[in-house]
Structure 1
Amino acid sequence: MNAVSPVTPFHRRANPAPLPADPMADALLGGATSAELARTALPQEYVAAHLRVEDVDMFGGTDDKDVRKSLRVGRVPMPELAPDEVLVAVMASSVNYNTVWSAIFEPLPTFSFLKRFGATGGFAARHDLPYHVLGSDGAGVIVRVGGGVRRWQVGDHVVMSPVQVDDQEPATHGDGMLGADQRVWGFETNFGGLAHYTVVRASQLVRKPAHLTWEEAASITLCAGTAYRMLVSRQGADMKQGDIVLIWGATGGLGAYAVQMVKNGGGIPVGVVGSAAKAAALERLGCDIVIDRSEIGMGGDEPPGPERTIELGRRLGKIIRERAGGDPHIVFDYIGRATFGISVFLARRGGVVVTCGSSTGYQHHYDNRYLWMNLKRIIGSHAANLQELWECLRLFELGKLMPTLSTVYSLDDVGEATRLVQTNAHLGKVGVLCMAPEPGLGVTDPGLRARIGEHRLNPLRVMPGTEAAVRPEALLAGRV
């Protein structure tokens, strides 16, 4: 596991909790061979970020549901492995908004997901527990494989798809995301990636890009894969050259990948952000047109009323036409309630609004006349199937896409990392080191990294001497 010189700020508690004895961790960090790893004993317990069922009602009646109060880091039992699963030692993970939803127990406590999954029986029953290990991103090393696993072996370096599918369900073979038994790992399943170990199905695995560090690789799969399906896939907007694409939250985990994909595909990215600091970061990312919400007088997370929606839409549309030469062919919207009505209004005649989430609320209101009379479409998109994720990861290996990691926390400080995402005081992706002791490890192809160029990697990183430009308090001014 070669090291590179890390420039990402690393947040680690001054007096971290002592780790339990773990011969497997020692072997991995000591450079053990695959054969040695296969012979090394596993711990009976491991360290994980998790929720407890007894805390479900802890935020009742409170306005600020601070995730630092509900997220725990401690030991949990090592689960049994099913025949089609692998056990991965997680070197790094990252925070997604589903970690926030889980930790505030909204819109539903995730323990209800675990109970329904466990009720299906068999190995699924393991997931119905009084604790829930979170995390839907991860990069690490396979340390055990189930008896039914064919294409992977101990010692392989992998990243994990956030989607768990049932390969015995017919719909899965048309598109994995259409299967009724599709679940998001670490959100709708237990044993997620914010831990020293995780259990995943072999059908969730993709090889880790060899030129990336553990934390860079762990920041890719959920957000980049989701953006790929939304924009590039035939299942999404099917973007073409010359398309004008409006991207809300363009420096977020999803938005920053969307900007790169639009640029790569010959489109014109129009990024909307909520502060001057984020606008500066978006320019560094290479976005063609950068719009601060203050330019159109757009406020916080509350949805505008019908008249205000049209007023804001007209202001934003005028700016886009002046700078891009036309109305958006595609609107990329994961913000939800605060922006969706404007998105439907703004898309051009025959245009597309593609949505994958609702970080400001699920109940969307829009004027349907602007949809049906102008032949627009709304496309719902969710994560990515395995083929789409493989194609997306190939773009990283070709140097066409770059990680959008901005900062890294230790697993002990996962509460602080998740709070950063909850308050939208972050850029791009917030990484979490799990078993890796420090940033910069995991590169096994330094030649490829050098050819791509260290200076091109992680365009949203806080470089030495520039921390003040993007510190959290500067970003709190805007939430989209």
Structure 2
Amino acid sequence: MSALADAVTNGADARLLAALPLPERYRALYLRKEDADMFAGVEDKDVSASLRVGSVVMPALAPDEVLVAVMASSINYNTVWSAIFEPTPTFRFLERLAATGGWAARHDLPHHVVGSDASGVIVRVGAGVRRWHVGDHVVVSPVQADDQDPATHEDGMLGVDQRIWGFETNFGGLADFAVVRASQLVGKPAHLTWEEAACNPLCAGTAYRMLVGEHGARIKQGDAVLIWGAAGGLGAYAVQLVRNGGGIPIGVVSSDARADAIRRLGCDLVVKRSDIGLSDDVPGPDEVRAIGRRLGSIIRGHLGRDPDVVFEHVGRATFGISVFVLKRGGTVVTCGSSTGYHHEFDNRYLWMKLKRVIGSHAANLQEQWECARLFESGALVPTLSEVFPLSEAPKAARQVQTNRHAGKVGITCLAPTPGLGVTDPALRARIGADRLNPFRVAAAVTA
């Protein structure tokens, strides 16, 4: 460990952190460009084979960037996409970014440091950074917005050159250090541990924009929201946001243990996939209608009506069912397609029943700050289920790839153990440690 990393883990003050030299290399989870074709013709693309933990070169810092000593991070599904090199190798993203010139040229390297979540301590600030300082405790939004694109000033997600950090850029968060734009930073909630704080920004911010923000479904009190994968990283935040907003969360999960976990979050109605005959295969048109009728019957039996909103991120396996089961005039809001991007659905149910589909992607900085307030007040809690050290990050990513997890899987980076980083223990005590860790409590009860 470098002297700077050691000082961070020992809680050194800002003056010492600024005075210590940067290491020339640092530890990171990365992919190699030479491995991009390694899964050609392979059915089980095991990400633990392509992801590597090792030493990489420390990059220079642009004027609008900060260097964060990463205490913790988490695994998101975009790291799985990166590691299977699909639908395109992310090295192509890095090449396109580098082609824009200037500081962007640094990103085109034979290795890609991945990861789109982080919590940590700022150890360097670029010459153009005004609002942040060495020693600040922060979490990182995954969105790098293009502040020179006019559309960005309407909504940070609309700029043509908006990118997801650690997926479409290099120097991501699954590492001991990360290069971050100042416009990605949010203050770390003081009552959360490093790993609890790190698991929130990407998934919680995405769910907030989809459901609450003005660019999404804009749920209101009394809305019934069907949430696919409700015990996953995105779904578990969606359950909380719907409940907080006076809505009725309806969660679909794959097991009794996951059902118990989301009931702890306040899910009003829980449906298991087996209850509606949904398998791992993509259903055909007749199956879509049959599954949709079974699901609709369960929902109407409980609520007396169809759902107002469907929270979609599963994609090909569920999208047709979502369009079918939604109420007349309702909204499907989608942010991803973990089972496949090419969706098939019966368009008659969309146009003749006046339904809407809204595409949503990550969250702009204002939405991230609004979402962070909910964590700071205890209205939202982390969905962390397990924590691995960075040395075992490939194993953790494989667990996410094969859906053998609930909520979010955390990664400690410079933090020597889980449980560190709390600077407001009084608030933590008022909220309650068990309430802050519903998925870990559920796992302990199940065990």
Q: Normalized against structure 2, the TM-score is what?
A: 0.99
**Residue pairs, 1:456-475, within 5 angstroms:** 456-462=435-441, 465-466=444-445, 468=447
Contact 1:268–1:324, Cα closer than 8 Å, also in 2: no
Query: Is the aligned partner of 1:284 residue 2:235?
Result: no
Structure 2 gaps, min length 5: none
Q: CA deviation at 1:298?
A: 1.2
Contact 1:89–1:142, Cα closer than 8 Å, also in 2: yes
Match of 1:72 in 2: 52
* SS of alignment partner, residue 343 of structure 1: helix
Query: Is the aligned partner of 1:409 residue 2:394?
Result: no
| Alignment match of 1:433 (pick from 401, 406, 412) | 412
Query: Is the aligned partner of 1:199 residue 2:179?
Result: yes
Contact 1:86–1:146, Cα closer than 8 Å, also in 2: yes
| Alignment match of 1:361 (pick from 327, 340, 361) | 340
Match of 1:350 in 2: 329
* SS of alignment partner, residue 21 of structure 2: coil
**Residue pairs, 1:56-95, within 5 angstroms:** 56-95=36-75
Match of 1:158 in 2: 138
Q: CA deviation at 1:235?
A: 0.2
Q: Out of 448-457 and 111-120, give the one that drifted further.
A: 448-457
C-alpha offsets along residues 7-48 of structure 1, whole Å, 9 cap, x if unaligned? xxxxxxxxxxxxxx4000111122211111110111000000
Give me the whole-angstrom Cα distance separating, in 1, the residues matched to 2:132 and 2:182.
7
Look up the equivalent residue of 1:58 and give its one-letter code.
M
Look up the equivalent residue of 2:368 and give its one-letter code.
L
Give me the whole-angstrom Cα distance separating, in 2, the residues matched to 1:50 and 1:324.
47
Contact 1:38–1:143, Cα closer than 8 Å, also in 2: yes
Match of 1:175 in 2: 155
Match of 1:250 in 2: 230
Q: 1:464 to 1:247 in 2, by over 3 A?
A: closer
Q: CA deviation at 1:180?
A: 0.3
Contact 2:312–2:319, Cα closer than 8 Å, also in 1: yes
Match of 1:239 in 2: 219
Give me the whole-angstrom Cα distance separating, in 1, the residues matched to 2:235 and 2:261.
12
* SS of alignment partner, residue 359 of structure 1: coil
C-alpha offsets along residues 312-332 of structure 1, whole Å, 9 cap, x if unaligned? 101100100111221010000
Q: 1:288 to 1:296 in 2, by over 3 A?
A: same
Give me the whole-angstrom Cα distance separating, in 2, the residues matched to 1:24 and 1:173.
37
Match of 2:117 in 1: 137
The structure with higher relative contact order (CA 8 Å, sep 6+) is 1
Q: 1:190 to 1:465 in 2, by over 3 A?
A: closer
C-alpha offsets along residues 181-216 of structure 1, whole Å, 9 cap, x if unaligned? 100000000000000000010000000000000000
C-alpha offsets along residues 253-280 of structure 1, whole Å, 9 cap, x if unaligned? 0000000000000000000011222112
* SS of alignment partner, residue 206 of structure 2: helix
Q: CA deviation at 1:462?
A: 4.6
Contact 2:140–2:184, Cα closer than 8 Å, also in 1: yes
Q: CA deviation at 1:284?
A: 2.2
| Alignment match of 2:297 (pick from 292, 308, 318) | 318
**Identity between Structure 1 and Structure 2 (%):** 70
| Alignment match of 1:390 (pick from 354, 365, 369) | 369
Look up the equivalent residue of 1:43 and give its one-letter code.
P
* SS of alignment partner, residue 7 of structure 2: helix
Structure 1 gaps, min length 5: 1-20, 469-480
Contact 1:191–1:198, Cα closer than 8 Å, also in 2: yes
Give me the whole-angstrom Cα distance separating, in 1, the residues matched to 2:443 and 2:42.
38
C-alpha offsets along residues 430-457 of structure 1, whole Å, 9 cap, x if unaligned? 0000000000000011111111122211
Contact 1:73–1:411, Cα closer than 8 Å, also in 2: yes
Give me the whole-angstrom Cα distance separating, in 1, the residues matched to 2:15 and 2:403.
44
Q: CA deviation at 1:411?
A: 0.3
Give me the whole-angstrom Cα distance separating, in 2, the residues matched to 1:109 and 1:295.
37
Contact 1:409–1:431, Cα closer than 8 Å, also in 2: yes
**Residue pairs, 1:332-343, within 5 angstroms:** 332-343=311-322
C-alpha offsets along residues 273-302 of structure 1, whole Å, 9 cap, x if unaligned? 1122211222222211000011111111x2
Q: 1:467 to 1:277 in 2, by over 3 A?
A: closer
Match of 2:350 in 1: 371
Look up the equivalent residue of 1:217 and give its one-letter code.
A
C-alpha offsets along residues 128-164 of structure 1, whole Å, 9 cap, x if unaligned? 0000000000000000000000000000000000000
How many residues are matched? 447
Give me the whole-angstrom Cα distance separating, in 2, the residues matched to 1:47 and 1:467.
35
* SS of alignment partner, residue 178 of structure 1: coil
Q: CA deviation at 1:466?
A: 3.3
| Alignment match of 1:124 (pick from 104, 111, 117) | 104
Contact 1:407–1:462, Cα closer than 8 Å, also in 2: no
Match of 1:48 in 2: 28
* SS of alignment partner, residue 315 of structure 2: coil
Q: Out of 427-436 and 27-36, give the one that drifted further.
A: 27-36
Q: Normalized against structure 1, the TM-score is what?
A: 0.92
Contact 1:402–1:456, Cα closer than 8 Å, also in 2: yes
| Alignment match of 2:246 (pick from 245, 266, 282) | 266
Q: CA deviation at 1:402?
A: 0.3
Look up the equivalent residue of 2:27 and give its one-letter code.
V
Cα RMSD of the aligned pairs, angstroms, is: 0.9
Contact 2:328–2:354, Cα closer than 8 Å, also in 1: yes
Match of 2:430 in 1: 451
* SS of alignment partner, residue 31 of structure 2: strand
Contact 2:119–2:195, Cα closer than 8 Å, also in 1: yes
Contact 2:28–2:174, Cα closer than 8 Å, also in 1: yes
Q: CA deviation at 1:420?
A: 0.8
Give me the whole-angstrom Cα distance separating, in 2, the residues matched to 1:82 and 1:64.
39
* SS of alignment partner, residue 415 of structure 1: helix
